[in-house]
């Protein structure tokens, strides 16, 4: 319940409540003395503190401690949650520009995804081949490597991601890479596709809301009307 509340609140102008639900989720998991619940809570807490710009080392320590609590062995759920925490560490390091550490942890997440198989996706954490590849787009963007981000995006199979929210997010991140390269036409096209995948996801995405007004005003002429129409559909002031 706390994780669902955190996801809802992350799209609202209520940062204090996002932090509160993240902390409450972790507290409840610890009180339950459940390594699986703690692992999931650590993934969500990492998102909160990464977006708040908190020290990467603290986020990585949390992810490693939670991963160490999971029993070793071939349990599929444990492998997925451990891989998810390695992905959390990779995203944290990418956010702060620590490329070597970022890809070292991504390799661990990749190994877990390969162990689980290409067709596996966790029922609600969605860890699997699809999001490991998808979040590599975000990592390249954060590391200011848009060309590499688009190489990953070109090979990404969205069909392996059984979540409209995640599919929309990775499309937005692909659009962000095109935007970094000044490729407004491609960016608008991908934002439109992200809207068709999940209108709610793109409506509250901060990157989308920040770039659409500029694309509608001074983007490539052939897609200005498309950017303007999308902005209006999303309620973004232009």
Report the DSSP beta bridge partners of residue 128.
121
Q: 59 with 89: CB under 8 angstroms? A: yes
The pTM of this model reads 0.93
Q: What is the pLDDT of residue 60?
A: 87
pLDDT tens digit sequence for 150-194: 999 999 999 999 999 999 999 999 999 999 999 999 999 999 999
pLDDT tens, position by position, 41-99: 999 998 887 766 555 677 888 999 999 999 988 899 999 999 999 999 999 999 989 99
Q: CB–CB of 188/230 below 8 Å?
A: yes
Nearest alpha carbon to residue 68 among 56, 81, 77: 81
In tens, the pLDDT along 217-238 reads: 999 999 999 999 999 999 999 8
pLDDT in tens, 140-159: 999 999 999 999 999 999 99
Quickly tell me which residue has 């932090």 as its tokens.
19
**pLDDT at residue 54, as a whole number:** 59
Q: What is the 3-state secondary structure (H, E, C) of the chain?
A: CHHHHHHHHCCCCCHHHHHHHHHHHHHHHHHHCCHHHHHHHHHHHHHHHHHCCCCHHHHHHHHHHHHHHCCCCCCHHHHHHHHHHHHHHHHHHHHCCCHHHHHHHHHHHHHHHHHHCCCCECCCCCCEHHHHHHHHHHHHHHCCCHHHHHHHHHHCCHHHCCCHHHHHHHHHHHHHHHHHCCCHHHHHHHHHHHHHHCHHHHHCCHHHHHHHHHHHHHCCHHHHHHHHHHHHHHCCCC
């Amino acid at each position: 319940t706390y994780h669902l509340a955190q996801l809802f609140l992350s799209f609202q102008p209520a940062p204090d409540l996002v932090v509160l639900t993240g902390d409450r989720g972790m507290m409840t998991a610890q009180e339950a003395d459940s390594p699986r619940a703690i692992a999931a809570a650590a993934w969500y807490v990492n998102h909160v503190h990464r977006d708040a710009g908190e020290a990467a080392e603290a986020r990585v320590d949390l992810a490693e401690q939670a991963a160490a609590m999971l029993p070793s062995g071939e349990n599929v759920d444990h492998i997925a949650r451990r891989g998810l925490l390695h992905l959390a560490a990779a995203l944290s390091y990418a956010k702060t520009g620590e490329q070597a550490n970022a890809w070292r942890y991504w390799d661990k997440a990749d190994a877990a995804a390969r162990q689980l198989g290409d067709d596996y996706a966790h029922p609600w954490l969605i860890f699997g081949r699809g999001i490991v590849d998808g979040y590599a787009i975000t990592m390249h963007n954060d590391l200011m490597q848009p060309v590499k981000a688009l190489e990953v995006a070109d090979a990404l199979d969205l069909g392996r991601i059984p979540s409209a929210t995640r599919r929309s997010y990775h499309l937005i991140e692909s659009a962000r890479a095109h935007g970094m390269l000044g490729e407004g036409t491609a960016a608008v096209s991908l934002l439109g596709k992200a809207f068709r995948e999940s209108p709610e996801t793109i409506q509250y995405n901060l990157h989308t809301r920040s770039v659409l007004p500029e694309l509608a005003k001074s983007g490539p002429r052939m897609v200005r009307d498309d950017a303007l129409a999308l902005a209006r559909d999303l309620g973004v002031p232009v």
